[in-house]
Amino acid sequence: MRDELSQDLAVLGREFGAALRAELALVAPGAGGWAPVRARVVQPVRITSAGFRGGRRPRWRHQRMALVAAAALTAAALAGGIALASSARSLILRPHPAQSAPTVSQPAQQTDLRTAEATAGFHILRVTDYPRARLVKVETLPPSVTEQGVSVAAPSGVRLTYMLSGQNVIVGEFRSDGSASGATVFGGDRQGALETVDGHQTYVTYSDTGQVTGMMWATAEASVVVGFGGPGQPRSLAVEFVEHLR
Amino acid sequence: MSEQELVRGCLAGDESSYEELFNRYQARALRTAYALTGDRSEAEDAKQEGFVQAFKTIHRLAPGHEFGPWLYRSVVWAARNRARKARRWREAFSRSAAAADGTGASGIDDLDLRGALVDALRGLPADQREVLVLRFYLDLPEAEVAAIVGCALGTVKSRAARGLRRLASSPGLAWRRPNLEESVHA
């Protein structure tokens, strides 16, 4: 077999290149440009009124949907190229305690805000700020029609807002020293937090941010699971970089 | 602004230079990644990771060298890594994504986008696929391709030849010239 490209093969290569260019012309970058936010659907999940829990303890074994969600999270972690196993294990989602009262708050010193529309489904939204190599992964999880849940693992210097009906809900601010405002962080796993922001309550659950960060870029990453509205109800999720928190 | 000026701007921390380079290259980077992975979602990730890596290491880009090959090297590596990690879950992921809302992972049905050539490329060994995409889609010189994929020049040629022969024998590729097929198999 010849190893060098014959004239015919060279011609074939050029034709192949031209045909491939024509074919790939259909593949255009999505909206978002410099710091694109995109959504991918992983798994449809319902959150029951009892909530669900993925964890090292066997509580969720009796909750079928919890198992589905944990599996989906694990798959999502692999899909994202990050080892989110610990995050998935520590994920807790519970019904949103303030379903009918979206918090209205305009974030201070807003410098960058990316949003993406997503329909109900289990999504990963990713935001990358290239110059700083800050990567934010956002996963959204559909609750039932009347329930919402939020789970956050976030880097320092990032404020995450959940936009509902065009209004921002700040679910957490994360500082460079590893602390976070607006949420209570429990123990080593950083599991479970009931956040109060502007008088409204939002469930926020932290997974192990240290491990997530270590697996990804050197500085800022976040993995967020956000409960969206009912099937077919689009919501916007915003990930905001706040200068003064860096 | 020339590419060299943009690279210098990046080195000086000028974010607009980053953005301009990104805007110039993002479409080709995405399409390259798509040709390598055959999956829109994976391609988006590989593109992102490629850019991040290229920007993180841009200080190592030798003066006078083009940014494109520097970026493509990172995209190729990102695509390789993603393919390795994704192999086990891709099918299940696609099924669940389709079940969720009837679309592909990125919200766009990949099967609608993916044509016969990309499908045929997916059937090639990764090393041949990389060479074909870099050499004939990006039109990079063989020496540049060799540097990007990390092999000898002769290996690039042999991989290209083997890959083209396999592609030429793939069924349903409309781009083949009928009279060429015979000579390829000769």
Gap between the terminal Cα atoms of chain A: 59
Give B180's contacts (C-beta < 8 A, 6+ positions apart): A8, A11, A12, A15, B168
Of A4, A15, A20, the CB nearest to B157: A4
pLDDT higher at A36 or A65: A65
Residue with tokens 């044509």: B115
Please state, in angstroms and rounded to a whole number, the distance separating the CA atoms of residues A220 and A245: 12
pLDDT > 90? residue B76: yes
Segment among A23-37, A80-94, A176-190, B165-179 with least mean pLDDT? A80-94
Q: Where are the domains of chain B?
A: 1-110, 115-186
What is the number of residues in chain B? 186
Residues B97-128: tens digit of each pLDDT:
344 333 333 333 333 345 778 888 888 999 99
Q: Which helix (H) or strand (E) holds A87?
A: helix A85-89
CB contact under 8 A, B183 and A8: yes
Residues A78-131: tens digit of each pLDDT:
444 433 322 322 222 222 323 222 222 222 222 333 333 333 333 333 333 333
The fold for domain B1-110 equals: Rna Polymerase Sigma Factor; Chain: A (1.10.1740)
pLDDT > 60? residue B15: yes
- Predicted confidence band of residue B174 (pLDDT cuts 50, 70, 90): low
pLDDT of residue B86: 57
pLDDT of residue A71: 56
pLDDT higher at A81 or B53: B53
Candidates B87, B117, B119: best to mutate against A (most CBs of A within 10 A) is B117
Quick one: which of A226, A97, A236 has its CA closest to A163?
A: A236
CA B116 distance to own-chain centroid: 16
The model's pTM? 0.52
Q: Which helix (H) or strand (E) holds A121?
A: none
Q: At B12, which amino acid appears?
A: A
CB contact under 8 A, A5 and B157: yes
Residues A196-228: tens digit of each pLDDT:
333 232 333 333 222 222 111 222 233 333 333
pLDDT > 70? residue B143: yes
Between positions 178 and 237 of A, the ones with CB within 8 A of B are 217
pLDDT > 70? residue B47: yes
- How many angstroms separate the CA of residue A197 from the nearest CA in chain B? 32
Residues B82-91: tens digit of each pLDDT:
777 655 444 4
Please state, in angstroms and rounded to a whole number, the distance separating the CA atoms of residues B149 and B152: 9
Level-2 CATH architecture, domain B115-186: Orthogonal Bundle (1.10)
Whether A125 and A118 have beta carbons less than 8 Å apart is answered as yes
Angle (deg, nearest 10), helices B15-37 and B67-86: 50
Strand, coil or helix: what is A172? strand
Quick one: which of A108, A105, A124 has its CA closest to A116?
A: A124
- Rounded to the nearest integer, the mean pLDDT of chain A is 40
Residues of A in contact with B135 (CB under 8 A): 13, 17
Gap between the terminal Cα atoms of chain B: 49
